[in-house]
Structure 1
Amino acid sequence: MSYRLLLAALAVLVVLLFAISLLIGPAGLDVGTSIAGLLNGDNEAARLVMREIRLPRAILGLAIGATLGLSGAVLQGYLRNPLADPGVLGISASASLGAVIALYTGLSGAFALALPLMAMGGAVAAVVLIQLLSGTHAGTLTLILSGVAITSLSGALTSLALNLSPNPFAAVEILFWMLGSLADRSMLHVYLSLPFMLAGWLMLFALGRALDALTLGADVASSMGIRLRRTQWLAVLGTAASVGAATAVAGSISFVGLIVPHLLRPLVGAQPSRLLTASALGGAALLLASDIATRIIAPGRDLKLGVLTAIVGAPFFLWLVIKNRRNVL
Structure 2
Amino acid sequence: MTAAQTPAAQTTAAQTAAARREPPPPALLAAALVALLVLSLLASIITGYVDLPAGTVLGTLLAGGSGDAALDLVVLEIRLPRALLGATVGGALGAAGAAMQGLLRNPLADPGIIGVSQCAALGAVATIYFGLAGASVWLLPAAGMAGAMLAAIAMQVLAGRDASVLTVILAGVAIGSIAWSLTSLAMNLSPNVWAVREIVFWLLGSLKDRSNTEILAAAPFVAAGLALIFSCGRGLEALALGEETAASLGVNLNALKARAILGVALAVGAAVSIAGSIAFVGLMVPHVMRPLVGQRPQPLLWASALAGAILVVAADIVTRAAPTNQELNLGVITALLGAPFFLTLILRSRRSVR
- Are residue 95 (structure 1) and residue 117 (structure 2) matched? no
1:156 corresponds to: 181
How far the C-alpha of 1:19 sits from its partner, in A, is: 1.1
Map of 2:276 onto structure 1:
251
Aligned to 1:2: 24
Out of 186, 189, 197, the residue aligned to residue 211 of structure 2 is 186
Q: What's the offset of the Cα at 1:170?
A: 1.3
Matched, 1:47 2:98: no
**How many angstroms apart in 2 are the aligned matches of 1:59 and 1:112?**
18
1:278 aligns with one of 286, 303, 307: 303
CA distance in 2, matches of 1:12, 1:44: 30
Q: Residue type matched to 2:312 in 1?
A: L
CA distance in 2, matches of 1:104, 1:84: 30
Which residue does 2:46 correspond to in 1?
Answer: 23
- Aligned pair partner of 1:229 in 235, 243, 254: 254
In the other structure, the counterpart of 2:81 is 56
Aligned residue number for residue 93 of structure 2: 68
1:103-140 Cα offsets, whole Å, 9 max, x none, are 11111123332222211111111112112111122221
SS at match of 1:288: helix
In structure 2, distance between residues paired with 1:45 and 1:32:
17
C-alpha distance in 2, partners of 1:82/1:88? Answer: 12
Alignment-derived partner of residue 78 in structure 1 = 103
Say whether residues 1:165 and 2:190 are aligned partners. Answer: yes
Q: Tell me, in whole angstroms, the C-alpha distance in 2 between the residues paired with 1:295 and 1:207.
A: 37
TM-score (norm 1): 0.97
Q: Distance in 1 between matches of 2:206 and 2:188?
A: 23
1:327 counterpart letter in structure 2: S
Q: 2:135 aligns with which of 82, 85, 110?
A: 110
Stretches of 4+ aligned residues off by more than 6 angstroms: none
Q: TM-score, normalised by structure 2?
A: 0.90
Aligned to 1:174: 199
Residue 34 of structure 1 and its aligned partner are, at CA, apart by 2.9
User: For residues 154 and 28 of structure 1, what CA distance do their matches in structure 2 show?
Assistant: 40
1:200 aligns with 2:222: no
Alpha-carbon deviation of 1:300? 4.5
SS at match of 2:191: coil
Amino acid at match of 2:36: L
Distance 2:219 2:85 in 1: 8
Cα displacement (A) at 1:285: 1.0
Distance 2:99 2:55 in 1: 41
Q: Distance in 2 between matches of 1:298 and 1:241?
A: 36
Counterpart of 2:25, as a letter, is: Y
1:205-241 residue CA offsets vs partner (Å, 9 max, x unmatched): 0111111101111111011010111101111100000
Answer yes or no: is 1:311 the counterpart of 2:333: no
Deviations 1:64-116 (A, max 9, x none): 11111111111101100000011111000000001110111111123332222
CA apart distance, 1:195: 0.5
RMSD: 1.3
Q: How many residues are matched?
A: 329
Q: Which amino acid aligns with 1:112?
A: V
1:294 matched to 2:322: no
2:133 counterpart SS class: helix
2:328 is the alignment partner of 1:328: no
Q: Distance in 1 between matches of 2:53 and 2:236?
A: 47
Percent identical residues:
50
Distance in 2 of aligned mates of 1:209 and 1:135: 24
Shift of 1:55: 1.1
TM-aligned CA deviation for residue 274 of structure 1? 2.0
Measure the CA separation in 2 of the matches of 1:322 and 1:275: 23
Q: CA deviation at 1:12?
A: 1.1
Query: Which deviates further from its counterpart, 142-151 or 107-116?
Result: 107-116
Larger Rg: 2
Aligned-partner residue type, residue 200 of structure 2: L
Gap regions ≥5 residues in structure 2: 1-22
Structure 1 unaligned regions, length at least 5: none
